[in-house]
Amino acid sequence: MLEPMTGPDGPAPWRVAITRADEWAIMDLGRKGFVVTPLPVLIEGPAPDPDRLAELARGLEQFDWVICASTRSVRALTEARGTRWPAAVRTAAVGPVTASAIVEAGGTEPVVGNIHTASGLWEWLSGLDDWPQRRVLVTTVPEGRRELIDALRAAGAAVTEIEAYSMTPASPDRIREAWQRANPEAVIIGSASTARHLLDAVGTDALAAVKMVVAIGPTTAAALAERKISSTMPAHATFAAAMDHLTDLRSQLGSRR
């Protein structure tokens, strides 16, 4: 566990690296007393096939279900569609933040599993419909896990996959430079793919030396565990929950002083 650092004016701020460079996240953690450095491991880019994305997005009405795993995919579908989602199509989301984004886009209230993973979502979805020949659109990203897609197809659903956006790894040199600049005491890791690319760039020893590793959810924690890196998780698999979890951990450690 991370020991509180002390100086002449009391506890020093924790140095935290975050793998999501959202301005709101940096500002929020800064307000909570952390010194924050963005750690760009994966760079978001456009869909590999924007024409196909636009065609599917404009035809969401043809599907019985639309299932999304991230707010990025919801945003990409909405921008490609150019109008609000059809209310008649049933929806599902891996986590509550993605579910909120779907509702904001005009979709129906999504199904969300108790465990915010693809397999956790399928546990809920499996009994909610007669899946043979149900038309299902699932947004994907390269290197994404396929448990949900495989389960839907095994149940007889007609699944259409679309990569709504791309995520390109930053160069190992760039990742290492950012890591050295951050010199983190704690790190928040936002996906399993991010964890793997970070470990490949900086090495297992570097991450093992960090005293507090926060994985956004169980899939990310499992990817870290594969490389013998222990981590802690928030109650919900969202970046906001991960930041709150880190803040709570700091408070718990401070109360033990």
The range of the structural domain enclosing residue 68 comes to: 45-166
Residues 247 and 139 in one domain: no
Residues 215 and 245 in one domain: yes
1 in a domain, yes or no? no
223 in a domain, yes or no? yes
Residues 49 and 118 in one domain: yes
Neighbours of 141 (CB within 10 A): 21
Q: Is 26 exposed, middle or buried (0-12, 13-18, 19+ CB in 10 A)?
A: middle
Q: How far is CA 140 from CA 1, 4, 249, in A?
A: 35, 40, 33
5 in a domain, yes or no? no
Instruction: Render each residue's pLDDT in the chain as its tens digit; 257 residues.
Output: 334 433 334 456 889 999 976 677 788 888 888 999 999 899 889 999 999 999 999 999 999 999 998 888 999 999 999 999 999 999 999 888 889 999 999 999 999 987 767 778 899 999 999 999 899 999 987 666 788 999 999 999 999 999 999 988 999 999 999 999 999 999 999 888 899 999 999 999 999 999 899 998 888 999 999 999 999 999 877 777 888 899 898 888 764 44
4 in a domain, yes or no? no
Angle of helix 192-202 versus helix 172-182 axis, rounded to 10: 90
Look at residues 166, 187, 207 and tell me which one is the last residue of a structural domain. Answer: 166
CATH of the domain at 208: 3.40.50.10090
Residues 144 and 220 in one domain: no
